[in-house]
A and B are shown apart, each in its own frame.
Chain A
Amino acid sequence: KNEVEQSPQNLTAQEGEFITINCSYSVGISALHWLQQHPGGGIVSLFMLSSGKKKHGRLIATINIQEKHSSLHITASHPRDSAVYICAAIPTDKLIFGTGTRLQVFP
Chain B
Amino acid sequence: DAGVIQSPRHEVTEMGQEVTLRCKPISGHDYLFWYRQTMMRGLELLIYFNNNVPIDDSGMPEDRFSAKMPNASFSTLKIQPSEPRDSAVYFCASSPVTETYGYTFGSGTRLTVV
Contact = CB atoms under 8 A, between A and B. Distances in A.
Nearest to A96: B45
Interface string A46-64: 0110100000000000000
Contact of B105 (A42, A50, A97, A100): A42
Interface string B81-114: 0000000010101000011111111011010000
Contact of B56 (A43, A86, A90, A94): A94
Contact of B45 (A43, A45, A95): A95
Interface residues of B, number: 25
B8 to A, nearest CB: 14
Interface string B52-92: 00011000000000000000000000000000000001010
Interface string A21-53: 000000000110101000001111101101000
Interface residues of A, number: 21
Interface of A: 30-31, 33, 35, 41-45, 47-48, 50, 86, 88, 90, 93-95, 97, 99-100
Given A30-B99, A42-B108, 4 more contacts: A42-B107, A93-B48, A94-B98, A95-B103
25 contacts: A30-B98, A31-B99, A31-B100, A33-B102, A41-B110, A43-B91, A44-B105, A45-B103, A45-B105, A48-B99, A88-B43, A90-B98, A90-B99, A93-B31, A93-B50, A93-B56, A93-B98, A93-B99, A94-B48, A95-B33, A95-B35, A95-B43, A95-B103, A97-B42, A100-B42
The 9 closest A-B pairs by CB, nearest first: A48-B102, A30-B99, A43-B105, A31-B99, A97-B43, A93-B98, A45-B102, A94-B45, A42-B107
Interface of B: 31, 33, 35, 42-45, 48, 50, 55-56, 89, 91, 93, 98-105, 107-108, 110
